[in-house]
Amino acid sequence: MKERLRFVQRLPGIELRVLSPIPLFPPLRMFKRWYPWSQVPRHEVVDGIEVFRPRYLAIPKIGACVQPRLIELAARREIRRWRGTFRCDVIDSHFIFPNGVAAVRLGKRLGVPVVSTGRGADIVCCPDYPIIGAQVRFALRCATQLIAVSREIADRMVALGADESRVTVIPNGVDCERFGIVERRESRRRLGLDSKRPIILAVGYRLELKGFHILIDAIPAIRRWFPDVLVAIVGGQARWAEDFRPALDERIRVNDVMNHVFLAGTRPQEELPFWYSAANVLGILSSREGSPNVLMEALACGLPAVATRVGGIPDVLDGNPQLGILLEERSAPAAASGLISGLSCPWDPVAIRHYAENRNWMRTAEKVGAVIDLAISGQTPSEFGVGRGAAAE
pLDDT tens-digit profile of 291-327?
A: 999 999 999 999 999 999 999 999 999 989 999 999 9
273/254 Cα distance (integer angstroms): 32
19/243 Cα distance (integer angstroms): 29
Distances (CA, A) of 258 to 34, 84, 253: 34, 61, 7
How many of the other CB atoms lie within 10 Å of CB of 328? 10
156/146 Cα distance (integer angstroms): 12
Closest by Cα among 380, 379, 376, 378 to 388: 376
261/205 Cα distance (integer angstroms): 16
Q: How many CA atoms lie within 13 A of 50 on its CB side?
A: 8
- Which phi and psi (to 5°) does residue 13 adopt? 80, 5
Q: Are 193 and 278 in contact (CB under 8 A)?
A: yes
What's the confidence (pLDDT) of residue 141? 95
Q: DSSP for 73-131, please give it.
A: HHHHHHHHHTTTT---S-EEEESIIIIIHHHHHHHHHHT--EEEEE-SHHHHTGGGSHH
Q: Taking 80 as the threshold, does the pLDDT of residue 243 lie above it?
A: yes
Q: Are 262 and 230 in contact (CB under 8 A)?
A: yes
Q: Taking 70 as the threshold, does the pLDDT of residue 140 lie above it?
A: yes
CATH tag for 2-173+360-392 (out of 3.40.190.10, 3.40.50.2000, 3.40.50.11930, 3.40.50.170): 3.40.50.2000
Helix, strand, coil percentages, rounded to 5, for the chain: 45, 15, 40
Buried b (16+ CB within 10 A) or exposed e, 343-380: bebebeeeebbebbeebbbeebbbbbbbbbbbbbeeee
How many of the other CB atoms lie within 10 Å of CB of 28? 10
Q: Taking 90 as the threshold, does the pLDDT of residue 27 lie above it?
A: no
pLDDT tens-digit profile of 320-354?
A: 999 999 999 999 999 999 999 999 999 999 999 99
Helices 63-81/130-142 angle, 10° precision = 40
Q: How many CA atoms lie within 13 A of 255 on its CB side?
A: 23
- DSSP letter for 188, please: H
102/122 Cα distance (integer angstroms): 13
Q: Taking 90 as the threshold, does the pLDDT of residue 217 lie above it?
A: yes
Q: Taking 80 as the threshold, does the pLDDT of residue 101 lie above it?
A: yes
- DSSP letter for 269, please: G
What percent of the chain has a predicted confidence (pLDDT) above 70?
A: 92
351/355 Cα distance (integer angstroms): 7
340: CB partners within 8 A, 6+ apart: 221, 222, 225, 226
In the chain the beta strands, taken as DSSP E runs, fall at 16-19, 22-24, 43-46, 49-52, 55-57, 91-94, 114-118, 145-148, 167-169, 199-203, 230-234, 261-265, 281-284, 305-308, 324-327, 390-392
pTM equals 0.86
Cis preceding-peptide flag for 349 (omega within 30 of 0) = no
What's the confidence (pLDDT) of residue 194? 94
What's the confidence (pLDDT) of residue 392? 52
Please give the average per-residue pLDDT across 234-252, as a whole number.
88
Where, residue-wise, is CATH 3.40.50.2000 in the chain?
Answer: 2-173+360-392, 184-357
User: Per-residue confidence at 106, pLDDT binned at 50, 70, 90?
Assistant: very high
Q: Classify domain 184-357 at the CATH class level.
A: alpha beta
Average pLDDT of the residues of the chain: 90
* 245 burial level (CB within 10 Å; 0-12, 13-18, 19+): middle
Q: Are 71 and 371 in contact (CB under 8 A)?
A: no
Lowest mean pLDDT among 72-76, 198-202, 387-391: 387-391
User: Per-residue confidence at 383, pLDDT binned at 50, 70, 90?
Assistant: very low
What percent of the chain has a predicted confidence (pLDDT) above 90?
A: 77
User: Per-residue confidence at 241, pLDDT binned at 50, 70, 90?
Assistant: confident
What's the confidence (pLDDT) of residue 387? 33
Helices 212-223/245-255 angle, 10° precision = 20
What's the confidence (pLDDT) of residue 384? 33
Q: Taking 60 as the threshold, does the pLDDT of residue 385 lie above it?
A: no
CA dihedral sign of residues 249, 250, 253, 257 = negative
Please give the average per-residue pLDDT across 140-144, as a whole number.
96
User: Per-residue confidence at 61, pLDDT binned at 50, 70, 90?
Assistant: low
Please give the average per-residue pLDDT across 261-283, as a whole number.
96
Q: Taking 80 as the threshold, does the pLDDT of residue 31 lie above it?
A: no
Q: Are 216 and 248 in contact (CB under 8 A)?
A: yes
